[in-house]
Amino acid sequence: MSAAGARAPRLAVLFVCTGNICRSPTAEGVLRRLAHEAGLALEVDSAGTHDYHVGELPDERAVAHAQRRGYDLARLRARRIERGDFERFDLVLGMDRGHLRLLERLCPPGQRGKLGLLLDFAPALGERDVPDPYYGGPEDFERVLDLVEAATRGLIERLGGYLRVST
């Protein structure tokens, strides 16, 4: 293929939280939109460490708060992480250190370099864990969005030069 016909590399990112109904689908929706706006070639998905909500829509509060900021979560469905995900995705990002520890146990040794925390892409925040808003109020869902937006912007900045889509 000629240089003129070459495609930008595509990177696959998976976000992981507990049930895949609040934090990780929020991150999926945010990164999907921001990457598109930045012209980046990304595959984005999310999963849970547990099967509590497999097949369900994201939490209605997460959907509503995200929608107010212009993110669409309404078509996402919860799923549990699968062994093949470690092969399929280039980055597997836990929403908190508990998720990361579980991912480290599940992940084949040769794939562990793909693991990390979402908030590692926003070191200025001084936080490593995106708190679970499930048992909280509206302010907790807004806090999740604030943290996720900051971290996904950091992720996009880090990946931008590598993944820029040519026009």
On whether residue 42 sits in a domain, the answer given is yes
pLDDT at 163: 58
Catalytic residue among 23, 32, 85, 96: 23
Catalytic residue among 17, 32, 96, 107: 17
On whether residue 12 sits in a domain, the answer given is no
On whether residue 22 sits in a domain, the answer given is no
On whether residue 5 sits in a domain, the answer given is no
Domain extent at residue 128: 29-163
Catalytic residue among 90, 120, 129, 132: 132
pLDDT at 160: 77
pTM of the model: 0.92
On whether residue 88 sits in a domain, the answer given is yes
On whether residue 17 sits in a domain, the answer given is no
Q: Is 23 a catalytic residue?
A: yes
Q: Is 17 a catalytic residue?
A: yes
pLDDT at 1: 36
Q: How many CB atoms lie within 10 A of CB 26?
A: 33
Q: Where are the alpha helices (DSSP H) in 1-78?
A: 23-38, 60-68
- Flag whether pLDDT at 4 surpasses 50: no
- CATH of residue 84's domain is 3.40.50.2300
On whether residue 21 sits in a domain, the answer given is no
Contact criterion met (CB below 8 Å) for 35 and 161: no
pLDDT at 161: 62
Tell me the per-residue pLDDT of 47-84, one tens digit each, with 9 for 90 and over: 999 999 999 999 999 999 999 999 999 999 999 999 99
pLDDT at 5: 42
The total of structural domains in the chain comes to 1
pLDDT at 167: 39
- Containing 94, the helix (H) or strand (E) segment is strand 91-94
On whether residue 18 sits in a domain, the answer given is no
Q: Is 164 a catalytic residue?
A: no
Tell me the per-residue pLDDT of 94-131, one tens digit each, with 9 for 90 and over: 999 999 999 999 999 999 999 999 999 999 999 999 99
